[in-house]
Amino acid sequence: MIRSLVILSVFIVSSSFGQQFTTEKRYFDDFAGQSFCATRSRNRENTCCNDRLDECSVPIAGTLCYCDEFCDQHINPDCCPDYEPVCKGIVSDPITYTCEVGDVIIKEFEEGKVNCNLCKCRAKGHYECEQDECLSDTDLIRDVNSHGSQLGWKSYNYTEFYGKKLKEGLTYRLGTFEPRVKVKSMSRLGHNADQLPRHFNSAQHEEWREFISEIHDQGWCGSSWAVSTASVASDRIGINLKESQDLSSQNLLSCVRHQQGCTGGHLDNAWRYLNRVGVADDECYPYESAVGRCLAKKSDNLRTMGCKLPNNQRESLFKMGPAYSLNNETDIMWEISTYGPVQATMWVYPDFFTYRSGIYRKSQFVDQKPKGFHSVRLIGWGEESNGYQTAKYWIAANSWGRWWGENGFFRIARGTNECGIEDYVIAAMADHHDRKQARKVRSHMKRSNRV
């Protein structure tokens, strides 16, 4: 073994990954903590050697390391990793390495979470992290907020979303499938925009406001198909019966067949169930944010299910007329102001999760390919002038709780089919057993163009 060939590089550890410290690489650092000189002999005299003695060595990694005095006296030290403690009695504090990933510091050989990604701190500050997109993306939030005034809305780092992956949000905070079969579309003829008010909000409407349902929180369950359907039906039945209702979205979630429960469902199936079978109220069949077993039997009604009966003592489950769809801005407005909130579907881009306030439009900071599909409840509209321009918007209720957006609501650009919000709007008439109402629906349908 020619000693001079044992070349150990002395270098500065620094890399684009951003390890926080710089340090000199020392003799066979990778073997730190293992015994070499210590294995030569039990007694100190034979273990370490004076001056230069090339036989005073131990094999290491296909070469040799040395336990003689010469080993650390030349430019390329080749001492064994345990030379200092064993031969010199130097017990230095072990160098403790850490990994600094963003503002998170992880100890050597430990794991830590950096937002939604798990990072493993390996030896000497090297680390590996999962590379998933996060639901609360720090860079995205910063970008949106620095362009907030042009964009028209603000972004926020929600505690509830921080640490979650984007894919978890897409699966468990949405949960509506793109329609394969669309319910019948209907156009409301003879209504144009100038006959409609510039502002309308069902939740502030004098006669309706007490019947408009609360903001729900679907939790980490992709059940927007059930929650948005139940809320629209609740509002419309409430307005119709002049009695506040909260229909059970759990009843839909557990009982509608051919759905995928907490990983999504089709709206047409939910509306068909409300039309043919009906559901109990939320107090009687409360939301659990999990699929569960269907607790409603075919022959059940409110009494047999042990629910509190509504004021009119009616026992039948809450049902809706057949669903129909609209896809014209003014038709949608007319529908809302005449019969109450409607259901809308929309494409979801990652920045939507971070929406805090303002009029939402997909920003230029996200991949222009939509990532998810969602359903929400439209309760009204309005417009806002920002200097020289007028920005028209829909007022929509989301199902993520009141902590999100504008107290659970959001506003989204109107008239430009933002995120497809005007593509496929669904409504149904309350209580089709009500004859007068049914006649009214039929005559409307006759007058309208069905597609």
Ligand X SMILES: *[C@@H]1O[C@H](CO)[C@@H](O)[C@H](O)[C@H]1NC(C)=O
CA distance 117 to 104: 12
CA distance 423 to 73: 78
Pairing of strands 449-450, 153-155: unpaired
Which residues make Cβ contacts (< 8 Å) with residue 336, sequence separation at least 6?
200, 202, 342, 378, 379, 380, 381
Q: What is the DSSP string of 362-413?
A: --TTS-SS--EEEEEEEEEEEEEEETTEEEEEEEEE-SB-TTSTBTTEEEEE
Q: How far is the CB of 366 from ligand X (least distance, A)?
A: 18
Q: How far is the CB of 138 from ligand X (least distance, A)?
A: 4
Q: How far is the CB of 102 from ligand X (least distance, A)?
A: 9
Nearer to ligand X, 92 or 159 (CB): 159
Q: How far is the CB of 116 from ligand X (least distance, A)?
A: 11
Q: Which long-range contacts (CB under 8 A, 24 or more apart) does 31-34 make?
A: 31/60, 31/61, 31/81, 32/81, 32/94, 33/81, 33/94, 34/81, 34/82
Which residues make Cβ contacts (< 8 Å) with residue 444, sequence separation at least 6?
186, 188
Measured in whole angstroms, how far is the alpha carbon of residue 20 from the centre of its chain?
31
CA distance 342 to 396: 10
Nearer to ligand X, 389 or 449 (CB): 449
Q: Contact positions toward ligand X, by CB under 6 A? A: 138, 157, 159, 162, 192, 328-331
Angle between helices 267-276 and 224-241 (to 10 degrees): 40
The residues with which 394 forms a beta bridge, in sequence order, are 381, 412
Q: How far is the CB of 189 from ligand X (least distance, A)?
A: 6
Neighbours of 243 (CB within 10 A): 13
Nearer to ligand X, 239 or 336 (CB): 336
CA distance 296 to 320: 17
Nearer to ligand X, 101 or 255 (CB): 101
Nearer to ligand X, 246 or 418 (CB): 418
CA distance 306 to 254: 18
Q: Are 374 and 346 in contact (CB under 8 A)?
A: yes
Nearer to ligand X, 85 or 163 (CB): 163
Nearer to ligand X, 63 or 328 (CB): 328
Q: How far is the CB of 119 from ligand X (least distance, A)?
A: 15
Nearer to ligand X, 46 or 138 (CB): 138
Q: How far is the CB of 283 from ligand X (least distance, A)?
A: 33
Q: How far is the CB of 195 from ligand X (least distance, A)?
A: 10
Q: How far is the CB of 145 from ligand X (least distance, A)?
A: 11
Nearer to ligand X, 368 or 449 (CB): 449
CA distance 233 to 235: 5
Phi, psi (5° rounding) for residue 187?
-115, 140
Nearer to ligand X, 45 or 194 (CB): 194
Q: How far is the CB of 125 from ligand X (least distance, A)?
A: 22
H or E element, residue 425: strand 425-427
